[in-house]
C-alpha cells in the first residue's frame, strides 16, 4: 500500500506542477488567466504541502522554488556568448527618416518592414536555457561581461524555470527586460516608508536594485516582471526568419513578450505607432521612455550590419523628456582627470522624469554664455533622453535685478594654476597636470577601475582621503600603502585593509592593453588600447613611436595620435609609468619575432570566436609575428576576420562590410602557401 501511495504522490506532484505552469503561461504569456488568483494560490499551497511530505521529490524547476536560496557574498562575472548591444537613439522625426533611409539603402529595398515595440525602462538581462531548463541569468553589464543573477531571476514568476513543449532547443539565450510594474513599485515604496527604509526614486531603480540583491529572498519579495524581445543564441531548432516570427516562437515555448509589439510597414507606420504609444504611455502598468524599431528580416539585418557596439538596423525613438523648473543655487567648476574645467549647476532639488535632480551639467563656458545662466536664476531642467539632467533655458522674467553675469574662471579652482583654452577653443584645462590634486584623484580613480587594473575595494572616498592627507600623489603610490596604515583610516578596519592590500597585489599582474587603458591617455579607450598593444607589441616601442607611426594604426587618427604623443612626451607621465613598473606591475613581455615580408604584412586582422587550437591571445601574437596589425573591432579598414566558434556580432559586421572571413585552417593555409 505504501508503494502505491508514493506513486500516487509522485503523480499528484507532477500534475500540480504542470497545472500551475499552465496557469502561469496563460497569465504571463497569453495575458488571459483562466482561474482567479484564489484558485491559483490554493494549487500552489497544495503543491507546497505535498513537497513538505516528500522533500526528496523537490526539483529546481518546481514552482515552489521561487522563494530564493542562501545569500551570496558577491555576483560572479558572466561572459556573454554573443555581446549584448546597445541602441542608437533618435530624438526627432528627422533622425527616424535618416534611420529608415540608411536601412533601406543597406538592405537594397524601397520599403522596409519593422518590428515596433515599447522601450521599457527596466534592466536588460540575458537568460540561458539548456534542454528547456533555465540554467543562467546575467545582467547586460558592459555588453561583453555581466553579473550572474540566476538565483534572483528564478524568483521572478514571469520567467519560466522550464520551457513548454516536448522538443525544446538544446540551447537558447534570450534577451529581455526585467522591470517593476508601477502598481508594484508604489506598494514597495509604501512598505519601505512604513519600515523607515530608503525610498526608490523610480520603478527602474527599484527593479535594478531588486535584481542585484545578494540575498535572493529579498528579490523574491519584490514585484518584478519580465518581457523578452531578442535572441542571443539558438541551437537545436531552426531560427525564425524575422522578428515577428521570433516573438511567436518565444510565446510558443512559454516566454512572455509584450502584447503591444507589432510589425509595421515603412516610416509612416513607425511614426503612427510612436504617437499611439506616446498617447497610451500614462495608461500602461509599466514605465517606458520611447519605442524601439528593428528591421524585421534577419537577412536584412545581416546586410545592414553594425556600427561600433550598436546595430545599424535598430533604433530607439525616445519620447520628449519631461521638463520642470527650479532655481540655480550656485555654479561650481569640476576638474576632471584630463584637467577639463566643467561647470555644474547646483539646483534646488526637483523631481524630473522619475528622479530627483539636484545637479545639471552646463558643459562649458560657451554653453553658459549661450544660455546666459546666472546664479539665482529660475531655469527649465530636462533629462535629455530621460537620462542626463541639463539646463534647457532660463526664465528671465523671474531673474533678480542684482543677478551678475557668470564669469568663467581662467585658473583652476582646485590648485590655482592657469587654465588656458585648448586647441578647440572651447574647453579650459588646468595646466598643472598631475600636480593638481583634482586631476590626481580622478586619474587614480580611473587607474583602479574595473576595466583598468580592477583594484577591488579601492573606492572614490578612500582615494580622496588618501590624496587629501598627502599620502598618495600618483597611482604608483598605491603600491606603497601598508595594511596597518589603511586600517587606521575612516571606514576601514583590519579585514578591509587586508582585502585591499591583497587586491593591490593581485592587480600587479595585468596585460599591456589594460595597463595602457589605466594610464588615462586622452581619447584612448579599451579598443584603442588593444589596437595599440597589438600594433606595437611593447610599451617601449609605443612610447618611442612617431606621429606618423601612430596614425598608421587602425582607428587612430591625427587627433588621437597627437594626444598619445603629447602624453608620452610629458616627463611626469614617464616617471609615473617607470615607478609603476618598479613597484611590480608586469605583463607578458615575450619578445615577438616579426616577419615583415609575410602574407599579412600591413594587413589589418580581427579575431573573433573560439579557435580550435589557439587561444585568441596566441592567435593575435602569431598574426603579429606574420606582420599583421591586429585590431579589436571590424571596420572598413579590416582586411581579414579570423572567426572561430560562436563568433558573435563581429562576423555579422564583417559580412556586411564585405570583409574576407577565414577560419583557423584557412588562416594557416595562407601562411603555408607563402612558405611553399
Measured CA to CA, the distance from residue 46 to residue 59 in angstroms comes to: 16
Measured CA to CA, the distance from residue 662 to residue 597 in angstroms comes to: 20
Burial of 221 (0-12, 13-18, 19+ CB in 10 A): middle
Give the residue from 423, 334, 405 showing the smallest Cα distance to 369: 405
- Asked if 662 and 673 count as a contact pair (C-beta separation under 8 A), the reply is no
- Asked if 186 and 287 count as a contact pair (C-beta separation under 8 A), the reply is no
- Asked if 68 and 129 count as a contact pair (C-beta separation under 8 A), the reply is no
SS3 471: coil
In sequence order, what are the residues at sequence separation of 6 or more whose Cβ sits closer than 8 angstroms to the Cβ of residue 612?
644, 664
In sequence order, what are the residues at sequence separation of 6 or more whose Cβ sits closer than 8 angstroms to the Cβ of residue 61?
133, 134, 161, 162
- Asked if 436 and 339 count as a contact pair (C-beta separation under 8 A), the reply is yes
- Kindly name the residue from 5, 119, 404, 451 that is annotated as catalytic: 119
Burial of 496 (0-12, 13-18, 19+ CB in 10 A): middle
Burial of 260 (0-12, 13-18, 19+ CB in 10 A): middle
In sequence order, what are the residues at sequence separation of 6 or more whose Cβ sits closer than 8 angstroms to the Cβ of residue 406?
331, 368, 373, 374, 375
- Is 119 one of the catalytic residues? yes
CA 641 to chain CA mean position, Å? 25
Cα four-point dihedral sign 553, 559, 562, 567: negative
3-state SS, 31-66, equals CCCCCCHHHHHHHHHHHHHHHHHCHHHCCCCCHHHC
Categorise residue 297: left if φ over 0, alpha if ψ from -120 to 50, beta otherwise.
beta
Look at the block and give the residue holding cell 537545436: 236
- Asked if 286 and 223 count as a contact pair (C-beta separation under 8 A), the reply is no
In sequence order, what are the residues at sequence separation of 6 or more whose Cβ sits closer than 8 angstroms to the Cβ of residue 369?
none
Going by their DSSP bridges, the two strands 388-394 and 378-384 should be labelled as antiparallel
Angle among Cα 152, 156, 161 to the nearest 5 degrees reads 90
Backbone angles phi, psi at 77, to 5 degrees: -85, 140
Measured CA to CA, the distance from residue 338 to residue 255 in angstroms comes to: 47
CB atoms within 10 A of CB 351: 13
Measured CA to CA, the distance from residue 27 to residue 255 in angstroms comes to: 11
| Strands (E) located in 497-547 | none
Measured CA to CA, the distance from residue 411 to residue 419 in angstroms comes to: 5
- At what angle are helices 93-107 and 266-280 packed, to 10 degrees? 140
CA 138 to chain CA mean position, Å? 12
Residues known to be catalytic: 119
Amino acid at each position: 500500500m505504501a508503494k502505491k501511495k508514493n506513486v500516487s504522490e509522485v503523480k499528484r506532484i507532477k500534475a500540480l506542477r504542470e497545472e500551475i505552469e499552465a496557469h502561469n503561461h496563460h497569465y504571463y504569456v497569453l495575458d488571459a488567466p483562466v482561474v482567479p488568483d484564489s484558485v491559483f494560490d490554493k494549487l500552489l499551497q497544495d503543491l507546497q504541502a505535498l513537497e513538505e511530505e516528500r522533500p526528496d521529490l523537490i526539483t529546481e524547476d518546481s514552482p515552489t522554488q521561487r522563494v530564493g536560496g542562501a545569500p551570496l557574498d558577491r555576483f560572479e562575472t558572466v561572459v556573454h556568448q554573443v555581446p549584448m548591444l546597445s541602441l542608437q537613439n533618435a530624438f526627432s522625426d528627422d533622425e527616424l527618416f535618416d534611420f529608415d533611409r540608411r536601412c533601406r539603402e543597406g538592405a537594397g529595398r524601397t520599403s522596409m518592414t519593422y518590428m515596433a515595440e515599447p522601450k521599457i525602462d527596466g534592466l536588460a538581462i540575458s537568460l540561458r536555457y539548456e534542454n528547456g531548463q533555465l540554467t543562467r541569468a546575467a545582467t547586460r553589464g558592459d555588453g561583453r561581461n555581466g553579473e550572474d543573477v540566476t538565483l534572483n531571476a528564478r524568483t521572478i514568476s514571469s520567467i519560466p524555470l522550464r520551457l513548454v513543449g516536448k522538443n525544446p532547443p538544446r540551447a537558447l539565450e534570450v534577451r529581455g527586460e526585467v522591470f517593476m510594474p508601477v502598481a508594484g513599485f508604489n506598494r514597495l515604496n509604501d512598505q519601505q516608508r512604513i519600515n523607515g527604509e530608503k525610498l526608490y526614486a523610480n520603478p527602474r531603480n527599484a527593479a535594478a536594485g531588486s535584481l542585484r540583491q545578494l540575498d535572493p529572498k529579498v528579490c523574491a519579495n519584490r514585484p518584478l516582471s519580465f518581457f523578452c524581445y531578442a535572441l542571443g543564441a539558438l541551437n537545436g531548432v531552426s531560427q525564425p526568419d524575422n522578428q515577428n516570427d521570433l516573438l511567436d516562437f518565444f510565446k510558443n515555448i512559454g516566454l512572455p513578450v509584450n502584447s503591444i509589439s507589432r510589425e509595421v510597414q515603412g516610416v509612416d507606420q513607425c511614426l503612427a505607432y510612436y504617437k499611439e504609444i506616446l498617447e497610451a504611455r500614462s495608461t500602461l502598468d509599466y514605465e517606458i521612455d520611447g519605442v524601439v524599431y528593428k528591421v524585421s528580416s534577419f537577412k536584412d539585418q545581416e546586410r545592414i550590419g553594425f556600427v561600433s557596439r550598436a546595430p545599424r538596423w535598430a533604433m530607439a525613438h525616445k519620447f520628449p523628456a519631461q521638463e520642470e523648473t527650479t532655481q540655480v543655487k550656485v555654479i561650481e567648476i569640476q576638474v576632471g582627470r584630463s584637467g577639463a574645467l566643467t561647470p555644474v549647476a547646483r539646483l534646488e532639488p526637483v523631481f524630473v522624469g522619475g528622479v530627483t535632480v539636484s545637479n545639471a551639467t552646463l558643459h562649458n563656458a560657451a554653453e553658459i554664455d549661450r544660455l546666459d545662466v546666472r546664479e539665482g536664476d529660475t531655469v527649465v531642467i530636462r533629462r535629455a533622453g530621460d537620462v542626463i539632467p541639463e539646463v534647457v533655458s532660463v526664465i528671465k522674467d523671474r531673474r533678480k535685478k542684482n543677478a551678475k553675469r557668470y564669469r568663467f574662471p581662467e585658473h583652476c579652482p582646485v590648485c590655482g594654476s592657469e587654465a588656458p583654452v585648448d586647441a578647440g577653443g572651447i574647453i579650459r584645462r588646468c595646466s598643472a597636470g598631475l600636480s593638481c590634486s583634482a586631476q590626481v584623484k580622478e586619474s587614480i580613480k580611473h587607474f583602479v577601475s574595473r576595466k583598468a587594473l580592477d583594484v577591488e575595494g579601492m573606492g572614490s572616498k578612500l582615494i580622496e582621503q588618501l590624496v587629501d592627507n598627502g599620502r598618495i600623489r600618483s597611482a604608483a603610490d598605491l603600491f606603497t600603502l601598508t595594511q596597518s596604515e589603511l586600517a587606521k583610516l575612516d571606514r576601514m578596519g583590519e579585514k578591509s585593509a587586508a582585502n585591499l592590500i591583497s587586491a593591490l597585489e593581485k592587480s600587479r599582474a595585468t596585460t599591456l592593453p589594460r595597463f595602457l587603458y589605466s594610464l588615462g591617455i586622452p581619447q584612448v579607450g579599451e579598443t584603442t588600447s588593444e589596437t595599440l598593444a597589438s600594433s606595437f607589441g611593447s610599451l617601449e616601442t609605443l612610447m618611442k613611436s612617431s606621429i606618423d607611426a601612430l596614425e598608421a594604426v587602425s582607428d587612430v587618427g591625427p587627433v588621437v595620435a597627437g594626444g598619445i604623443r603629447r602624453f608620452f612626451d610629458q616627463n611626469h607621465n614617464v616617471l609615473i609609468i617607470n615607478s609603476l613598473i618598479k613597484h611590480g606591475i608586469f605583463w607578458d613581455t615575450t619578445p615577438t619575432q616579426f616577419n615583415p615580408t609575410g602574407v599579412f604584412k600591413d594587413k589589418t586582422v580581427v579575431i573573433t570566436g573560439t579557435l580550435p587550437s589557439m587561444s585568441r591571445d596566441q592567435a593575435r601574437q602569431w598574426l603579429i609575428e606574420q606582420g599583421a596589425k591586429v585590431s579589436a573591432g571590424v571596420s572598413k579598414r579590416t582586411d581579414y576576420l579570423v572567426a572561430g566558434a560562436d563568433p558573435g556580432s563581429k562576423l555579422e559586421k564583417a559580412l556586411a562590410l564585405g570583409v574576407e572571413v577565414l577560419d583557423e585552417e584557412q588562416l594557416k593555409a595562407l601562411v603555408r602557401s607563402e612558405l611553399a
